[in-house]
A = this chain, B = another copy of it.
Amino acid sequence: MKWGWVFLGVLLTLGTLSWADKGLEVPEYDGKDRVHSLNAKNYKSVMKKYDVMVLYYHAHVGNNKEAKKVFELEELALELLTSPAALTYQLAAQVLDDIDDEDIGFGLVDEKNDRSVAKKLGLDEVESIYIFADDEIIEYDGELAADTLVEFLYDVIEDPVEIIDNDRELKGFHNIDEDIKLIGYFKSEKSPHFIEYDDAAEEFHPFIKFFATFDPKIAKKLRMKLNEVDFYEPFMEEPAIIPGSPYTEEELVEYIEEHDRPTLRKLEPHSMYETWEDDIDGKHIVAFAEEDDPDGYEFLEIVKEVARENTDNPDLSIIWINPDDFPLLVPYWERTFEIDLGSPQIGVVDVKDADSVWLDMDDDEDMPTASELEDWIEDVLSGKIDPDEDDDDNMTQ
């Protein structure tokens, strides 16, 4: 029963400050166990019951240090103390238990006890969440927080391709600039080329956004030919036209896989670990900038300018972190990187030991110009600036 967590009315999200009014009750965990423990015997029948199955492939609980420490406590307390992740997971299951059009199931696969199940299902990274939906397996490698996971699952159950019908929706399409997005222009939903496109979309859904239009007027505004698909990198103004239209699903998949590391990408809670693991030679160029702050906005504009000018450089990928998206990490980053996140920062971080070198920007002075920033980035890419050389001479500018 270690992963049972049937404890009395424990509240995870407790947002309901006192109030008499109705309409804003943040759900609290009701203590009911909605999560299946999967094993070799039951996994097929459990998974059959749901349209979407979410599996948390977790480290073996018996190995957990905390579990041993508190072994003499009540079983109830033990469960809670050893597996607070469970609360997050149970709350997500509870919240999604109520939506009517899709059946979403939640399960657990223990690394040690259920090794055979993991192997059969193709789960390879322990402490990851795998989502089985429409014959696709989606790996969730983001923050294990109920709200982030639930929001991600809403995206999963949406159609992989969104249709743009009119000018306002087109404005909405242009408004999305933080994600990779594609748009295709096809004759209709029945076009075989649209079907290939839709199939390709399923492979990358929901990490990459796919749009389509069947309206010649919209296509004209996008300057697109029939059956053409355009690929937009985040923060870039002009798309790349994917060559060789019309395309098969495989051609589209191949193109996207070749181009899915943008020159500038935003760290997002739902994919934060995945992004961080995708380093270049063990390093990341990281820019901290608060978009809602005039200084941060100013610096971000400079970074975008540099990214746009260097979008063809395959060795350059800058991670933009908006500190507002990760408030709990701010003091950790300030300590680890020895920087002040009250003003914008750019640096290069070694992902193995978190050693880092930061561009010296006096926050009372002007920001670097785009060309000064470009010079600094060149020095980073050439190895002239290297977080592994710890002496202060490396602090440029």
Interface residues of A (CB under 8 A from B): 7-15, 17-27, 59, 65-66, 69-70, 73-74, 76-77, 80-81, 84-85, 88, 91, 95-96, 98-99, 125-128, 141-148, 150-151, 154, 158, 162, 164, 166, 168-173, 175-176, 211, 272-273, 276-277, 279, 284, 291-298, 301-302, 324, 326-332, 334-336, 342, 349, 351-354, 366-367
A168 near B298: Cβ-Cβ < 8 Å: yes
A169 in contact with B351 given A18-B126, A18-B128, A74-B74 (CB within 8 Å) = no
Report the Cα distance A366→B272, complex, angstroms.
37
Residues on B with C-beta less than 8 A from A7 are 81
A171-B301 CB under 8 A given contacts A21-B352, A26-B329, A74-B74: yes
Q: Give the complex CA separation of A125 and B158 in angstroms.
A: 41
Find A76's partner among B20, B77, B154, B291 (CB 8 Å cutoff): B77
Tell me if A164 and B352 are in contact (CB < 8 A): no
Contact of A293 among B70, B172, B296, B297 (CB under 8 A): B172
Chain B residues with CB under 8 A of A84:
10-12, 14
Contact partner, A150, options B142, B302, B328, Cβ 8 Å: B328
Question: What are 6 A-to-B residue pairs whose CB atoms are below 8 Å?
Answer: A8-B69, A13-B145, A15-B144, A77-B80, A169-B294, A171-B297
- Looking across the interface, which residue of chain B has its beta carbon closest to that of A69? B8
| Whole-angstrom distance between the Cβ of A97 and the nearest chain B Cβ | 8
Question: Hey, which chain B residues are within 8 Å of A328, CB to CB?
Answer: 13, 26-27, 91, 95, 146-147, 150
Provide the bound-state CA to CA distance between A128 and B15, in Å.
11
Bound-state Cα–Cα, A149 to B144, Å: 19
Complex Cα distance, B229 from A38, in Å, reads 63
Residues of B within 8 A of A366 (CB): 166
Chain B residues with CB under 8 A of A88: 14
Assuming A150-B327, A151-B327, is B17 touching A128 (CB within 8 A)? yes
Enumerate chain B residues within 8 angstroms of A295, measured Cβ to Cβ: 169, 172
